[in-house]
Amino acid sequence: MLNILRTPFFQFLTLAALLSSCGSQEKESSETQTVHNVFLINPVLADSAATRDFAGQVEEARTVGAAFKTGGTIEHIYAKEGDRVRKGQLLAVLDSIDYVLGTEQLRIQTARFKDEFARTTKLYATGGVSDNDYEKAKSGLRQLEYQLALNENKIKYCRLLSPADGVITAVNYETGEMTDAGRPLFDIMDNRHLEIVVDLPASEYMRSNEFTAFTGHSPLLPGKTFPLQMLSLTPRADNNQLFRLRLSPASDSDITLAPGMNITVAITAAGSGSDAVTVPVNSVFDHDGQTAVYTFNQSDSTISLTPVTISGTGADGNITVISGLSPSQPIVRAGVHHLVPGEKVNVIDQTSASNVGNLL
């Protein structure tokens, strides 16, 4: 048996097995020790006045309901959905025959009662009528005059005039239908007063007292920017933790907007003395629902996951970080989705031929 173990053939097989085992271990060790090349960048201290872009949408300031002040049967409708109307324009009329007849009846009664009151006044002057009877006659005439004026107004109320300039978005009744007082016959979009609505994250709401200027621009209006005025900022967040900011074009603006248009709103905020910094967009990523970057540890060439708080994208395309970073902390500039926390990396100081555009 000992002789067999000493044969050259057996020794060859043993050597081959050992070499194969060593090669496999070296391969596994090489794979587990892969080091990624990265580019680093230092966060830049934000300007004292930073501008960030937010998505906004144009909306009409209000929708007006046009309704008759009295009830009745609709005799004619002069406007339809989509029509542009002017304030004071006749939109519809009611059948007013009953009001006309009632008014004529009251007019006759009032004229007769005036004659009777005139005779009563003469008798009262000579002492032929008591004070009580005179006051009753005076009060009765006044009541008839009020009822006559009320019926005359109802005749006027049978004509429905547009309460505002705008566009009719809905017609809620048809000719011949009955309507009650106050029920809107038309819905009118008041497009003279347009608003731009922006939903701001909580981080921006918290620094809203630093807002100094608002401007708008749109791909539909190439090369044009226009100033905006702040109308309101709702102090209560919605279900998405967003706060609604309402703006309007400046009174002297000649920009034509329409409800439904998408507008990019640039908000300029004054510096607050904080250590806000800006970083490239590609350096920021989401990790388990938390915004973070990779900071570089010079002592051991590893990277650490560092949570940060951001507050929007600036006009230069960089992201503003309001907490979690300082200008002295180098971070990984791009390629963060291929890295893991605690990984050892190799820092590249200059652009290589295989890294066109500095994307790694």
Structural domain includes residue 357: no
**C-alpha–C-alpha distance, residues 49 and 53, integer Å:** 14
Structural domain includes residue 74: no
Residue 189: count of CB within 10 angstroms of its CB: 19
Give 10-residue mean pLDDT values along the chain (360 residues).
49 52 47 77 73 87 88 94 91 94 92 91 87 90 92 93 89 94 90 85 86 86 85 90 89 76 86 70 87 92 90 68 84 89 84 47
User: What is the pTM for the complete model shown?
Assistant: 0.48
- 3-state class percentages of the chain: helix first, strand second, coil last, to nearest 5: 25, 40, 35
Do 296 and 246 lie in one domain? The reply is no
pLDDT value at residue 60: 79
Do 239 and 306 lie in one domain? The reply is no
State the total domains in the chain.
3
pLDDT value at residue 128: 85
Question: Residue 202: which CATH number?
Answer: 2.40.30.170
Domain closes at, from 210, 238, 270: 270
pLDDT value at residue 95: 95
Structural domain includes residue 182: no
Do 136 and 149 lie in one domain? The reply is yes
- Look-up: residue for tokens 């009777």? 116
Structural domain includes residue 254: yes
Structural domain includes residue 239: yes
Question: Residue 322: which CATH number?
Answer: 2.40.420.20
Nearest to 172 by CA among 162, 187, 159, 160: 187
Domain closes at, from 109, 132, 157: 157
pLDDT value at residue 256: 79
Q: Long-range contacts: 206-214, Cβ < 8 Å, 24+?
A: 207/269, 207/272, 207/311, 207/322, 208/233, 208/245, 210/269, 210/270, 210/271, 210/272, 211/267, 211/268, 211/269, 212/49, 212/268, 212/269, 212/270, 213/267, 213/268, 214/247, 214/265, 214/266, 214/267, 214/268
pLDDT value at residue 226: 86
Do 205 and 255 lie in one domain? The reply is yes
The domain of 204 spans: 52-61+193-270
